[in-house]
Amino acid sequence: MEKNEALEQAFQRAVESINNHTDPFPADVLLKLYAYYKRATGNEDMPSGSKPLINAFKANALFQSQDLTEEEAKRLYIDAVDRYFLYRK
- Residue 57's nearest CA partner among 28, 18, 25 is 28
The CATH number of whichever domain residue 56 belongs to comes to 1.20.80.10
Choose among 35, 45, 26: nearest CA to 67. Answer: 35
- Domain that residue 59 falls in: 3-87
Report pLDDT for 43: 93
CA atoms of 16 and 89, how far apart (whole Å)? 20
pLDDT at 1: 62
DSSP for residue 41: T
pLDDT in tens, 26-74: 999 999 999 999 999 999 898 988 999 999 999 999 999 999 999 999 9
3: pLDDT strictly greater than 60? yes
Q: What letter would DSSP give residue 23?
A: S
Number of compact structural domains in the chain: 1
Query: How much is the pTM?
Result: 0.90
